[in-house]
Amino acid sequence: MQPIKGVKILIVDDEPNIAQFLELGLQNEGFEVYTAPDGFTAVTLAKQVRPHIVILDVMMPGMDGFEVCRMLKKTEHVAIIMLTAKEEVEDRVKGLTLGADDYMVKPFSFEELLARIYARLRNQFPHLFAEVAYGPFRIDDRRKEIRYDERVLELSPTEYELLSFMVVNHGLVLSKTVILDKVWGYDFGGEDNIVEVYIRSLRDKLNDKEHRIIRTLRGSGYRVDLG
């Protein structure tokens, strides 16, 4: 992924080792990075620097990540990725209810975090992007157009959202539940096989007869490979 100039990321974590690791990694990717060791500092700093992305730890002394999320979503146009050492569904639901845009459980890979950051930027700050290249794919979010090997794909709006979501998160295994949540919405009440139907249509349009581009991992989900 090519760096995007001017993107500000605020890391909020009371563990210095984690904060420093993320800070150095994201700076190397070309982002403008700020750090806060606690929730109170984070809220103050966010008002000053107006970050695009906040990487927010849940468990912090004083003001926890849930309260920080609630406050920031009231006043800032920001994408929030919450981090937690817990895997309880209740924590995830609480964070999403308060406005969090994504959720990651520690430990996690830096590559996955980076993919999620770009996904949030593309979804919530599309003006930062012109055309973004992912291997043989070219995604133009302004035109809502995807090219594959320089060929423009004829896609419906939902096909565009599904394919762009999967391409941006290439290399990651995306479960059916995650796809339904991100593309159709958390409260989607349609047919259970809607994902399979759209995946089949995308494979036809990509001429992916052998499923080498959009792979099925039985019992887990789907993964886009860029080749």
Q: Round to whole Å and give the CA distance between 128 and 121.
A: 8
> What is the tens place of the pLDDT at every residue in 124-147?
887 777 678 899 999 987 788 999
How many residues are there in the chain? 227
Q: Which residues pair with 146 in a beta bridge?
A: 139
Q: Round to whole Å and give the CA distance between 38 and 49.
A: 16
Identify the residue whose tokens are 């080749």: 227
Q: Are 124 and 142 in contact (CB under 8 A)?
A: no
Q: What is the predicted pLDDT for the residue at 106?
A: 85
Residue 125 buriedness (CB in 10 A; 0-12 / 13-18 / 19+): middle
Share of the chain above pLDDT 90, in %: 59
pTM: 0.58
Strand order in the sheet with 145-148: 131-134, 137-140, 145-148, 151-152
Q: In Å, what is the CA distance from 164 to each residue of 66, 155, 200?
A: 29, 11, 15
Looking at residue 47, its amino acid is K
Q: Are 180 and 158 in contact (CB under 8 A)?
A: no
Paired tokens of 78: 């920001």
Q: Are 178 and 221 in contact (CB under 8 A)?
A: yes
Across the range 168-176, mean pLDDT stands at 92
Query: Given a cut of 80, is residue 17 above it in pLDDT?
Result: yes
Q: What is the predicted pLDDT for the residue at 190?
A: 62
Q: Round to whole Å and give the CA distance between 107 and 115.
A: 16
